[in-house]
Structures are given as C-alpha cells and as structure tokens.
Amino acid sequence: MTRIVEAGPAAAAVLSALYESAFGEAWAPDQLAQLLAGPGVFALIALDDAGAPVGYALGRVAADEAELLSIALLPGRRRRGGGRRLLDALIGRCVAAGAGALFLEVATDNAAALALYRGAGFHEAGRRRGYYKVGAAMVDAIVMKRTLC
C-alpha cells in the first residue's frame, strides 16, 4: 500500500467491490453512494504501488463524535500493517473534522480486528447482544471507543 486517498460518492462501485471481496457479501453501489452523500460521511481508499485499490475505511463525523462504519483490506493484503495505516488515516480525518471521540462496533469473534483496535487505543464501551448474523448464529458486538483529544 503506497497511499491513502479520500473518495466520495463517485467511488461507490470501487468501494462495493472491495467490500464484497473482503466480506463475501454485497453492499450495493447505489446504497454506498447515498451513504457517502450524507452529512459528515467520508471514505478513504488504500492504493497499491500500481494505483489499484486494496482497502478502504468509511467514517462519519457528527458534531464532536465520529464512527468507524466499516474498514477492510483485500484478503491477500492483510497482516502487513495496512489496516493500521487506514485506521490511523481515518482517525486523523476525524480529528481534523473536530471529533473528540471515535466509536465502532466489532464482532466478539473477530480476534484480528479486536487486536487492531486495542492496539490503536480503543477500549470497550458496551455490547450489543446478537448484533451480527454469522451463518445461522447471532454474534454479539463490542462497542469500542477511543478519545481523540
């Protein structure tokens, strides 16, 4: 990953393809474009040396709080520090927009993401029971928070 760029609604198809590659399910480009057109919502796209997209982060800032909506790297790009670079870029964008705290939800069974977030200074702020559907099972979400200033 050589650089991270900000992207708007015009990048919805790229974000949709990255989301599907990362999670194996679709997020329709028109839904993403509508989300990105909303107040305070932004996207960051990670590009490789050839300029091809390899990951993304979606965030939203409202007043003095921010939320990490989604973050992912292509499966072949994981465990190389790219997730932390994207997360750091998102945090910087949230700070620049005036957010004092950043929140996110993560599945209790997502050990890699939990390690990433804890390593970046997030702590558990709550739980949402049965928040994620994984196959036939329901998995709790941990709500995490990081103070930004």
Q: 3-state DSSP: the chain helix, strand, coil percent, rounded to 5?
A: 35, 40, 25
DSSP bridge partners of 68: 59
- For residues 28, 145, 93 and 17, what is the CA-based torsion angle, rounded to 10 degrees? -20
Contacts with 126 (C-beta within 8 Å, 6 or more apart), sequence order: 142, 143
CA 103/CA 60 separation, integer angstroms: 10
Q: Which two tokens stand for residue 55?
A: 């990951």
Q: Which residues carry out catalysis?
A: 105, 117
